[in-house]
Structure 1
Amino acid sequence: MSNSYYQNKNILITGGAQGIGLGMAQAFARAGARVIVTDADAEAGQEALQWLQEQKLAADFIRCDVSSEPEVKDLMRQVGEKHGQLDALLNNAGIADPFQGALQQLDMAAFDKVMAVNLRGPMLCAKYALPLLKKAQQPAILNISSTRAFMSEPDTFAYSASKGGLEALTHSLAVSLSEERVRVNAIAPGWIEVRDWKKESEKQVPHHRQQDKEQHPVGRVGEPQDIAEAALFLCSDKAGFITGQSLTIDGGMTVKMIYA
């Protein structure tokens, strides 16, 4: 991706302080964008901001819980006051632990929290970012979904449902915002290793078994950079004829037949 397109573009990344979000923040900033990282974890956010600034990259951090309508409204107010417009919104924030136990013991408060962050959050962010996106020449929204929107392990009700809803929200927004010239797409990551992309107090050195690698036709587990490269493309003018679509990035894992 050429650096020229993202020069002086304003990119807002929710959940941008760790994992895939941090990988995208680094990639967009290196491509010349002004990156606004938002995250509910202030400690992680400050660490991400410090790293970006030490690399002489243009970045801000604003703490926000995307499940809270007042906080999202205030987030967009601050972005508007400082930057004037948004060129892209990357809805990445989410509660990532998919397992919640058996159906009979399911904690509905925990279920509701996952839905609030993973699905209501992107809806709120799209709603309140729209006035800022409309000021840009080629605005885009990118939702980070999951291959769990299409397939499941046992006892992953809330996570799978929220990501399935996000896939539907993607094409609904794409059609609804077409007259506003806002393109809306999604990326559905598979197994992306993020243990070494956590804040310092939680960072771990990842280890993968050979069978973990062999589940993927490409021969390895994914990395945040794999998602970031696709995000750079989908939010750019090179993807100007793409909207309402979902790109699965999983090293081929979901197309490989596995016999137990």
Structure 2
Amino acid sequence: MTGGGSGIGLATASRFAVEGASVYIVGRDESKLTQACQQLLDSRGVKVTPLTGDISDPASMAAAAAVVNDRETGVDVVINNAGLASPSTPADDDDFITDLRDRLSIDVIGTAVTTAAFVPFLRRGGSVLNMGSVYATTAAAGTASYSAAKSAIIGLTRTLAVELGPRGIRVNCVSPGWVDVPKWDDYFDEPTLRHLRGDFTRVPLRAAVTADEIAALYAFLAHEDAAAISGQDIVVDRGMSADLYVAQTVPGLA
């Protein structure tokens, strides 16, 4: 999997390893990957293997895929979890086009590059899982480049599901809402964190999604119990996108 060094990726690597899978996390920062693997060994007692690879470089990812195939004699699951971590740039910002190009290059092209590298080694019954976002199908001011990239990933997911289906390979997308990740502790003060984690009034279930909950969905979609699910974008946002949240903002109706 890509993007396994922290947050959702690290939680997912842990979940799969605990369930007995041979897990490889691929990324450019070897030191960060090694640290993440050691953290999982210390905290969960599971072994995860770091593997250097750059999702923007087809040759680099092809080499990483070949290593995994040689060691495991095939691949069962590919998780495209990596993405540009910086905040999205509003469409009226001078840097918007640059930001859009960067996001399409990392999020979309990176997903395609990784998938293309690993698909030749995927066994029948295998699964490709992509990281989308609730903002692919909804909108918020300032998220144009992010939304565009995630929308493209959903389109890519559906097309790959059609193309790879005859080989018995399923392709799905997981689209989270607001996810509680470690970097939140650096971004938000304590009152804000308490609100997001236990009284998130904008969300019907009143809390942000956890990284472990995303990992659980990845694990389900990779399992044979999900054998009939392919070409889908599955939203996990505790009900956020189901509520237009309009009436609550109108004086006298709240």
TM-score, length-scaled by structure 1:
0.86
Are residues 1:113 and 2:102 paired? yes
Task: Give runs of aligned pairs for residues 7-156 of structure 1, distance below 5 A.
Answer: 13-54=1-42, 55-133=44-122, 136-156=123-143
Q: Which one of the candidate residues 186, 202, 205 is aligned to 1:215?
A: 202
Structure number with higher relative contact order (C-alpha < 8 Å, ≥ 6 residues apart): 1
For residues 75 and 109 of structure 1, what CA distance do their matches in structure 2 show? 29
Counting matched residue pairs gives 243
* Closer, same or farther: CA 98–153 of 1 in aligned 2, 3 Å: farther
Counterpart amino acid of residue 124 in structure 1: V
Report SS of the residue matched to 1:94.
Answer: coil
Whole-angstrom CA distance in 2 between matches of 1:78 and 1:109: 34
Structure 2 unmatched ranges of 5 or more: 250-254
- 1:42 alignment partner AA: E
- For residue 183 of structure 1, report the CA deviation from its aligned partner: 0.5
Root-mean-square deviation (Å): 2.2
Offset, 1:218: 1.1
- Please tell me whether Structure 1 or Structure 2 has the larger radius of gyration of its CA atoms: 2
Structure 2 SS opposite 1:248: strand
Which segments of 5 or more consecutive residues in structure 1 lack a partner in the other structure?
1-12
**CA–CA distance in 2 between the matches of 1:175 and 1:116?**
23
Q: Deviations over 1:204-252 (max 9, x none)?
A: 8872426961111112111101111111111100000111011100000
Sequence identity, in percent? 28
Kept in 2: contact 1:195–1:204 (CA 8 A): no
TM-score (norm 2): 0.88
1:27-71 per-position Cα deviation (integer Å, ceiling 9, x unaligned): 111111111011233332111111223333231101222122222
Letter in 2 for 1:143: N
Q: Which moved more, 1:228-237 or 1:209-218?
A: 209-218
- Look up the SS of the partner of 2:200 in the other structure: helix
Query: How far has the Cα of 1:137 moved from its partner?
Result: 4.2
- Is the contact made by 1:89 and 1:142 (CA closer than 8 Å) also made in structure 2? yes
Partner residue in 2 for 1:9: none
CA distance in 2 between partners of 1:92 and 1:227 (Å): 11
Shift of 1:110: 3.0
User: Who is 2:152 aligned against?
Assistant: 165
